[in-house]
Amino acid sequence: MDCMMPTVPEFRFSKSVFVQILDALKSASYRCVTFSETLKEPQSGVKTCLLRHDVDVSMQLALEMARLEHEHGIQSTYFVMLRSPMYNLMSRHDSAILVELALLGHEIGLHFDAGCRPNPGMTLEEELRFELDVLSQLSGHMVRSFSFHQPTPEIIESRLELPGVINTYHPSHLSGYKYISDSNRVWRELNPFQLIDSGLARLHMLLHPVWWMCSDADVKDCWDHAIRLNFVSMQAQLLGTERAYGEPRAMTLIRY
């Protein structure tokens, strides 16, 4: 006997679907606010959405997303890493993008890898303060918020805090905000359209640029896309500055 299972429509991740989310937020009269704005008194009767983008793999993809938001009159917060294995905020290419994100009207937050402890003499609070200070200087703006990269349950439970700085995982810092995340392109509860339809007054959406700016169906292909983009920007500088580098290279990635 045939068993007729209800079919769940597959959720697609692409630039155009991302733009549909921005349009849906505007149609539902949500005001997109940055994380530092939550430190002020909320305006009563105004529905607000925190758009959070943790930048794990590529500043170039973050910039593509930031430009789309800017074209649609939407402000968000980009949480960037100082200890990323994928990009370098001190490099010519990525430091220019960091400045451009702020020029587009977006806010910069710190994406903090608490598992990286290169200075045994420093406490976690001191490491965090150090990275917040460095990122504030690099971006030219005081950084007032941080999110953990790949946090363990113990790190989240530690409720790390510094005066006047928002920890996106601290239960009392963003209380009342309904949180969803696109981690590895899996929605645990609601997708963004369902969240917007809920009409809740305060939303907190974590959308990683790589999952939206890359249209490949397979997340591994999105990683490859980002690695190739990073190589292109790295090579552009090498070609311009290193005489011994020689001819441009094309890069092929092989999984084994």
By CB under 5 A, name the one of 50, 51, 56, 59 that touches Zn ion: 56
CB of 45 to Zn ion, least distance (A): 34
E-strand spans in the chain?
31-33, 48-54, 77-80, 107-112, 145-148, 166-167, 178-181, 202-206
Question: Candidates 47-55, 63-71, 102-110, 181-189 — which segment interacts with Zn ion by CB under 5 A?
Answer: 47-55
Up-side HSE of residue 217: CA atoms within 13 Å toward CB? 2
CB of 111 to Zn ion, least distance (A): 6
The CB-based long-range contact list for 113-120 (8 Å cut-off, 24+ gap) reads: 113/81, 113/83, 113/148, 113/149, 113/150, 114/148, 114/149, 114/151, 114/155, 114/160, 115/149, 115/150, 115/152, 115/155, 116/83
By CB under 5 A, name the one of 52, 144, 149, 204 that touches Zn ion: 149
Environment class of 18 (CB within 10 Å of its CB; exposed 0-12, middle 13-18, buried 19+): buried
CB of 56 to Zn ion, least distance (A): 4
Alpha helical stretches, state H, 188-255: 192-198, 209-213, 219-241
CB of 40 to Zn ion, least distance (A): 27
Residue 182 in contact with Zn ion, rule: CB under 5 A: no
CB of 208 to Zn ion, least distance (A): 8
Name the residue nearer to Zn ion (CB basis): 192 or 209.
209
Name the residue nearer to Zn ion (CB basis): 30 or 79.
79
Question: Candidates 8-16, 49-57, 114-122, 244-252 — which segment interacts with Zn ion by CB under 5 A?
Answer: 49-57
By CB under 5 A, name the one of 54, 107, 127, 131 that touches Zn ion: 54
Q: Which residues bind Zn ion (CB under 5 A)?
A: 54, 56, 149
